[in-house]
Amino acid sequence: MSISSADAWVAATAALCGVACGVPGVYLVLRRMSLLGDAISHAVLPGLAAAFILTGTRGLFPMLAGAMITGIATAAISSFISRHSKVPEDASLGVVFSSLFALGVIMITLAARDVDLDANCVLYGNIEFTPLDTVRLAGLALPRSFVTLACFASLNIALVSVFYKELKLVAFDGALATAMGFSAGIIHYALLCVVAATTVASFEAVGSVLVVAMLAAPGTAATLLSDKLSRILWIAALLAIAAAVGGYALAVVFNTPVAAVISVVLGAQVALAVIFSPRDGLVIQLWRQTSLKLRIREEDLLGRLYRRQEGRTEIEPPALRGLISWLAFRRLRRKGLLDAPGTGLTPAGSRAGDRLIGSHRLWEIFLNQRLGLPPDHVHDPSERMEHFISPAMEQELRAEFDGLKDPQGREIPQPERDRPAS
Amino acid sequence: MSPISPITAPTDIAVEVHDVTVAYHRRPVLWDVDVLIPAGKLVAIVGPNGAGKSTLLKAILGLVPLASGKVEIFGRPLREERGLVGYVPQRESVDWDFPVSALDVVLMGRYGRLGWLRRPGPADKAAALKALDDVAMRPFADRQISQLSGGQQQRVFLARALAQDAMLYFMDEPFAGVDAATERAIIDVLRRLRQAGRTVVAVHHDLQTVPEYFDHVVMLNLRLVASGSTQEAFTHENLQKTYGGRLTLLDQAAEAVRRGGPL
């Protein structure tokens, strides 16, 4: 398959749409307002219809004006309803945007029956035909959608760069922003204006499904991949471009609708980000859980052997059932804590045991003396807690319960450094 | 810790709240409150839950509309004196998963003096780092804020207030849910602010520490119960008036206003 210039135009247009929507979309995600983007992108329809009815043209500027007015109206009406009634914000938003969208459909069919303003086109777009509708610019025939979206992508990047500080402050702490004189309300509605206008500019090219996906998905994935706002904005833009180009290529190969495939790719990006997020992705969580489990098993083995060594022969030697136990045993041996037959501890093993069992018994004393738990209640909680007592906590406990024996009357093992030389 | 540069307040009265009434959904939550807050003092606002303490702060800061009355900061309307005012909202009021570092949050304290469009420069960064130093949080400057403990988050908020270098601070429950070390760090900073001539007005919940921490107290329960030096106003009698049950008649009146008619 060769790449034609038409293919390149379609992919580039989709990528520009991604940048134009994805960058402001980050702020919607951060402010937990992604659904407002979805709502606005539908609710602008009556604004478009009204602009068309009033001006009789489908020119970009009347459309943008209509969209911005209805976009802001959506947010304002739904917050008015929820503020002045018992209707929750999400419910009022759901009602307002679906009613407005339906109203738009009616207005279009009534007033523009025989004109080419198609509700279906709004939903699904027709990005495949992008190269057919061109405008002449500086002697070049460029696809109209490409030019429009290039303008919006640049405009949105410029706005986000120029007002970076203000947007960040309002998104993080609106009350402080307002107290400082940056009105959170004005910035909020300005952001919604940008979203409404971008949505309309993107509709014709890509349809509202992809617009909604581009507003929500890149920002969502990017916030999972980084915890620095400036980097998140870059990552969102790059993910949107990658999804546009990759999605278009897949759509060509499988001969399926472009906007739909790109939306699916965007969803897949978010899924991958959920799995591989470096801070709290599923993979890293699993890894953390497994290493914790391994450490606890290791320490439990150590504790058992230590107690046997103390002469408590009623304790069974540890049975190595399961992979984790086997790995724990291997690690103890590799650290040089086990003797050759693997049934006792080396001097280094005993020292490690001193710390562990020391923490365990100190915690038993703590539970017994400070929390008033009876002696037969303190072993099990200490068995769990011994793995989490930091050296600092251990020191504090030692200072507090110096010279005491545990509730069963056993000595608290002293760490090596405190032992008198013998 | 470097000293906070001393400032002399322009007037003896930092805040004048004159006959202020605030209503949510028409229901009044503050009734005709008159308060004078002296400059250069640590001032506690105390009262039971739902007494309108946070609302009073927000009303002074212009964050909620006044149904009636007026507020003056150093003798002038707030909008002319915003630069003199610092604000520490309740810790739960912001999203601590937000992708910024502790230093970023403290730098936000400088935004007000920068105004629109200007970006923080090296001097602002230095001021922010110094503020982090003042609350012993410098080592955590680059830490993402969700990785901080509750007490550390509160200290970052306090550092942001310091970076604002305001003359008058409003703090909404700065001591809520913090560990003992953070509480000491906060009161230490408050005292240094007072020493430098600044005024701090804090919503406070722990009645036991009021006489130790604060010079002046505003006792609130939908209406002003008492306001004055801690010694004079923080009395058993006033505490009983503030906490000893709500005035049922006032509640009924508020409900009637909300409904637009008698019950």
Distance CA A244, CA A301 (A): 54
> What is the complex's ipTM, to 2 decimals?
0.86
Q: Which amino acid is at A341?
A: P
Is B239 within 8 Å of B8 (Cβ atoms)? no
- Chain B nearest-CA residue for A183: B63
Beta bridge pairs of residue B220: B224
In the predicted structure, residue B1 carries a pLDDT above the cut 60: no
Task: State residue A189's pLDDT score.
Answer: 85
Return the structure tokens found at B87.
């604000």
> What CATH number is attached to the domain comprising B151?
3.40.50.300
Percent of chain A with pLDDT over 90: 27
Look at residue B8 and tell me if it is in a domain.
no
Inter-chain residue contact B82 with A180, CB threshold 8 Å: yes
Task: State residue A113's pLDDT score.
Answer: 64
From the list A166, A181, A232, the residue facing B99 with the nearest CB is A232
Min Cα distance B239 → chain A (Å) is 31
For CA atoms B99, B101, B105, B107, give the dihedral sign.
negative
The whole-number average pLDDT for the span B209-236 is: 90
| pLDDT tens digits for range A124-178 | 667 777 777 777 777 777 888 888 899 999 999 999 999 999 999 999 999 899 8
> DSSP string spanning B116-160?
SSPPP-HHHHHHHHHHHHHTT-GGGTTSBGGGS-HHHHHHHHHHH
Strands B199-203 and B42-46: parallel
Inter-chain residue contact A179 with B108, CB threshold 8 Å: no
Alpha carbon A347 to its chain centroid, in Å, reads 48
Architecture of the structural domain at A284-418: Orthogonal Bundle (1.10)
The whole-number average pLDDT for the span B103-131 is: 92
Q: A84 or B142: whose pLDDT is higher?
A: B142
Contacts of B141-145 with CB under 8 Å at 24 or more apart are B141/B101, B141/B102, B141/B103, B142/B101, B142/B102, B142/B103, B143/B101, B143/B102, B144/A227, B144/B99, B144/B100, B144/B101, B145/B96, B145/B98, B145/B100, B145/B101, B145/B102, B145/B105
Mean pLDDT of all residues in chain A? 85
Q: A77 or A60: whose pLDDT is higher?
A: A77
| pLDDT tens digits for range B160-199 | 999 998 899 999 999 988 888 889 889 999 999 999 889 9
| pLDDT tens digits for range A26-46 | 999 998 888 888 888 888 888
Distance CA A153, CA A159 (A): 10
| pLDDT tens digits for range A192-226 | 888 888 888 887 778 878 888 999 999 999 999 99
> What residue ranges do the domains of chain A occupy?
5-277, 284-418
Q: Which residue has the tokens 């009734």?
A: B31
Find residues 104-133 of chain B whose CB sits inside 8 Å of chain A: 104-105, 108, 111-112, 114-117, 119-120
| pLDDT tens digits for range A323-334 | 888 888 888 888
Domain count, chain B: 1
The whole-number average pLDDT for the span B80-90 is: 88
Q: Which CATH superfamily is domain A5-277 in?
A: ABC transporter involved in vitamin B12 uptake, BtuC (1.10.3470.10)
Q: Looking at residue B101, what DSSP letter applies?
A: B
From the list B25, B100, B112, the residue facing A180 with the nearest CB is B112
In the predicted structure, residue A2 carries a pLDDT above the cut 70: no
Look at residue B237 and tell me if it is in a domain.
yes
Distance CA B78, CA B72 (A): 6
Provide, as residue numbers in chain A, all residues whose Cβ is less than 8 Å from the Cβ of B104: 168, 229
Task: State residue A119's pLDDT score.
Answer: 58
Least reliable range by pLDDT among A16-20, A74-78, A299-303, B8-12:
B8-12
Return the structure tokens found at A149.
């979206």
Look at residue B17 and tell me if it is in a domain.
yes
- Chain A nearest-CA residue for B144: A227
pLDDT band at A120 (very low <50, low <70, confident <90, very high): low
Between CA B71 and CA B79, with CA B73 as vertex, the angle to 5 degrees is 80
Least reliable range by pLDDT among A161-165, A263-267, B27-31:
B27-31
Distance CA A370, CA A377 (A): 13
Find residues 296-335 of chain A whose CB sits inside 8 Å of chain B: none
Q: A313 or A308: whose pLDDT is higher?
A: A308
Task: State residue A263's pLDDT score.
Answer: 92
The whole-number average pLDDT for the span A384-404 is: 84
Look at residue B25 and tell me if it is in a domain.
yes
Min Cα distance B231 → chain A (Å) is 32
H/E stretch holding A124 reads helix A119-124
Q: How many residues does chain B have?
A: 263
Whole-prediction pTM? 0.83
Look at residue B5 and tell me if it is in a domain.
no
**Structural domain of B249:** 13-259
Look at residue B3 and tell me if it is in a domain.
no
Look at residue B99 and tell me if it is in a domain.
yes
Inter-chain residue contact B100 with A168, CB threshold 8 Å: yes
Beta bridge pairs of residue B202: B44, B171
The whole-number average pLDDT for the span B222-226 is: 88
Cβ-based neighbour number of residue A252 at 10 Å:
18
Task: State residue B83's pLDDT score.
Answer: 85
